[in-house]
Amino acid sequence: MMQPMDPHENSSRDLTIVCENLWKIFGELPKDPDSLLETLDTVHLSKEEILEKYGLTVGVHKANFQIKKGEVFVIMGLSGSGKSTIVRCLNRLIRPTSGRVVIQGKDVTRMTSRDLRTLCREKMGMVFQNFALVPTRTVLQNVTLGLEIRKIPKTQRLQKAREAIQLVGLSGWEDKYCKQLSGGMQQRVGLARALAGDPEILLMDEAFSALDPLIRKQMQDEFLKLVRIVDKTIVFITHDLDEGLKLGDRIAVMKDGRIVQIGTPEDIVMHPADAYVAEFVSAISRTKRETARDLVSDPEEWVCTLDDDPVSLLEKMRDQDYLGLLVIDDQDNPLGVLYRDMLRSAIDDKGEAVALLDLVSKDMITVNQHTGVDELVAQAARTSIPLAVLDRKNRLAGVIPRSSLLKELAEMI
Ligand SMILES: Nc1ncnc2c1ncn2[C@@H]1O[C@H](COP(=O)(O)OP(=O)(O)OP(=O)(O)O)[C@@H](O)[C@H]1O
Ligand SMILES: [Mg+2]
């Protein structure tokens, strides 16, 4: 992710998408709609009033924004607020009523259909909520689909598709039929298909909204990893502010076709522009009653067993800058903590003859999946080793490193 941007520092070269005074009105419009648009802009009528008075539906009401190269730009708002309409104007799936959309310096609103097609195929990828996969084709066949249309030679096609499949974590599933996959996996296929064409711009419309909460969170985490690897400009649509805050470098909040605020996650949370945005923000702070279950991560890199080689464990702790590891038995039951300094002195003393069992210290801090964030913070303050999260059978289900707890806390403010 990038740093929050200062609009005065941008050279237009760095701007990938510029939207200027964009209007989309659905319905029978007068031949020259400008004066009507001016009226709509100055007289403050609600969408319902406009529909009643003019028989027109406002999709987008004079939207202005600029998206910088490499940015994840989130468009957030309630259902019907105009998010999809904006995205469809970006690739001209629908024609704006007025205003300009400029992509990489080219005015999309004035482009010939042929140039537009080339631009969309070569520079833009799309991911939607309903994955639009061909159920009777395999994962690999679905991912190569877009490349076939672009007439990319077969060997190259397969190579690009396999790379994309690997990026979304589906290696090994290439030959499965899409109808055999879960929703989360189908969504990955959709993402892989968009990535396979190596587009500079990704448009994602409610890409994760159909997934159940745990899979959704997992996809969001993977999305964050992915954006660090691939250098793409991403327009991400969601009606979930929580998701927007987590994924976006900046967020545009929409209401009734208008963009009511554009800002970094911090801006939106700390300085909501109006009562509408404030309402969204207060709703998330209410639901942000998180527990260990929401913060837990895979314990793998933090654990060791009594059979491990002491010297490599010490090296690992040095390399990772870990002060200690959690020791588990072969049933995943946690035994305690192996502190780096204790291990080092033992190795200095006894060399290879070190018995790890003698070094296990019992002061491990355990929590369960329902422990609340307040308690987690209090516990984490007592230790430099991750908290051990136990499942119902008291096996190690995961860890919460202090750093991720602090990060989460910072995001919750
Ligand atoms: N093709 C269309 N014809 C007429 N009205 C439309 C059309 N497409 C969208 N609208 C209207 O434009 C407004 C914005 O719709 P849009 O689909 O952009 O909202 P959205 O924010 O994407 O909503 P959702 O979260 O439900 O997807 C709505 O009032 C919708 O009814
Ligand atoms: Mg929509």
String of DSSP letters for 47-76:
HHHHHHHHS-EEEEEEEEEEEETT-EEEEE
Backbone angles phi, psi at 303, to 5 degrees: -115, 160
Decide: 77 in ligand 1 pocket, CB within 6 A.
yes
Asked if residue 78 and residue 225 are part of one domain, the reply reads yes
Among all chains, which residue has been given the structure tokens 């419309």? Answer: 205
- Compute, in angstroms, the gap from residue 351 CA to the centroid of ligand 2: 64
Q: Band of the pLDDT at 13, cuts 50, 70, 90? A: low
88 in contact with ligand 1, CB cutoff 6 A: no
How far apart are the CA of 325 and the centre of ligand 2, in A?
Answer: 46
- pLDDT score at 294: 82
Ligand 1 and 83: CB distance under 6 A: yes
Give the Cα separation of 335 and 202 in Å (integer): 47
Residue 11 lies in a domain: yes
50 assigned to some structural domain: yes
If one counts the domains in the chain, the total is 2
Residue 32 DSSP one-character state: S
pLDDT at 15: 83
Q: Tell me: the pLDDT tens digits for 283-305? A: 776 545 678 888 899 999 999 99
Single residue among 226, 255, 287 that ends a domain in this structure: 287
Domain presence at residue 238? yes
Share of the chain above pLDDT 70, in %: 94
Strand partners, 253: 76, 261
Q: Is 258 in the pocket of ligand 1 (CB under 6 A)?
A: no
Looking at the chain, the whole-number percentage of residues with pLDDT higher than 90 is: 58
136 in ligand 1 pocket by Cβ < 6 Å?
A: no
99 in the same domain as 227: yes
Q: What is the domain-level CATH number for residue 40?
A: 3.40.50.300
Identify whether 177 is part of a domain: no
For residues 267 and 297, state if they share a domain.
no
pLDDT at residue 292, rounded to an integer: 86
Q: Are 386 and 313 within one domain?
A: yes
Residue 229 has pLDDT above 90, yes or no: no
How many angstroms is it from 6 CA to the middle of ligand 2? 29
Among 277-286, 299-308, 369-378, name the most confident range: 299-308
Residue with CA at minimum distance from ligand 1 atom 30: 80
Query: 121 with 145: CB under 8 angstroms?
Result: no
Q: Is residue 171 part of a domain?
A: no
Which two tokens mark 152? 């990319």
65-115 pLDDT per residue, tens: 999 999 999 999 999 999 999 999 999 999 999 999 999 999 999 999 999
Q: Is residue 176 situated within a structural domain? A: no
List helix spans (H) across 330-401. 340-350, 356-359, 373-380
Do residues 402 and 277 both lie within one domain? no
Going by C-alpha positions, the residue among 151, 147, 170 that lies closest to residue 159 is 147
Range of the domain at 65: 7-134+200-287
Q: Which residues contact 107 (CB under 8 A, 6 or more apart)?
A: 100, 101
Q: Residue 408 corresponds to which amino acid?
A: E
On whether the CB atoms of residues 259 and 58 are closer than 8 A, the answer is no
Nearest CA to ligand 1 atom 28: 80
- Same domain, residue pair 373 and 253: no
From 26, 90, 97, 255, mutation site for ligand 1 pocket: most ligand atoms within 8 A of C-beta: 26
Q: What is the 97 CA–ligand 1 centroid distance (Å)?
A: 14
Q: Which amino acid is at 387?
A: L
Q: Whole-number mean pLDDT of the chain?
A: 88
Q: Are 17 and 113 in the same domain? A: yes
C-beta 57 within 6 A of ligand 1: yes
Cβ 239 under 6 angstroms from ligand 1? yes
Tell me whether residue 160 is in a domain: no
Number of Cβ atoms within 10 Å of the Cβ of 1: 12
Tokens of 18: 């510029």
264 occurs within a structural domain:
yes
What's 302's domain CATH number? 3.10.580.10
Report the distance separating Cα 157 and Cα 381, nearest Å. Answer: 52
- Global pTM reads 0.70
* Distance between CA atoms of residues 367 and 377, nearest Å: 11
- Ligand 1 atom 7 nearest Cα: 26
Helix axes 139-149, 183-196, angle to 10 degrees: 30
Final residue of a structural domain among 287, 307, 342: 287
Residues 278 and 401 in one domain: no
Tell me: do 230 and 127 sit in the same domain.
yes
Q: Which of 287, 304, 319 is the last residue of a domain?
A: 287
What does the pLDDT average to over 369-375?
Answer: 80
Same structural domain for residues 255 and 304?
Answer: no
Q: At 207, is the secondary structure helix, strand, or coil? A: coil
Q: How far is residue 139's CA from residue 189's CA, in Å, rounded to a whole number?
A: 7
Residues 282 and 306 in one domain: no
CA 47 to ligand 1 centroid distance, Å: 12
Mean pLDDT of 228-248: 91
For residues 106 and 32, state if they share a domain. Answer: yes
